[in-house]
Amino acid sequence: MLGISDEFFVVKKSGLSQAQALTAYLGGSAFQTVMDNPVTAYRQLVQQYAKDIAGKPVDPKIASQEAKAIFKAHPISASFSGVGPRLIGVGFKRIPKFGVLLGFSFFLGEGENP
């Protein structure tokens, strides 16, 4: 399948195949990204409201109040603002990282962990 060895899908002594381990790592990263997204979205809104229309800095308390008003008016959409691009970034960042780590483990054949 797509040039991936069948060995990638074989369940090891640990009870996981490397495919399952990679899926678990990516799922964990995606879950963390979705759960952290409201905090990230709030921080970005505060940064967005840190300057007024003229580009002059605004008091941080006012910027924070503006961001809180957005979250109170639209809690769901504000919390999930930007989650799509962040999840795509997780894929681009994590697949190579976890793939390399699992590749080392596969080629070195050390231990029981996939």
Q: pLDDT at position 1, please?
A: 53
d(Cα 41, Cα 78) in Å, to the nearest integer? 7
Tell me: pLDDT of 103 over 80: no
* pLDDT tens per residue, range 13-39: 878 888 888 888 889 999 999 999 999
* pLDDT tens per residue, range 55-102: 999 999 999 999 999 999 999 999 999 999 999 998 888 888 887 877
Degrees, nearest 5: CA angle 15-21-24: 115
Contact 33, 86 (CB under 8 A): yes
Tell me: pLDDT of 106 over 90: no
Residue 95 identity = I
pTM of the complete model:
0.73
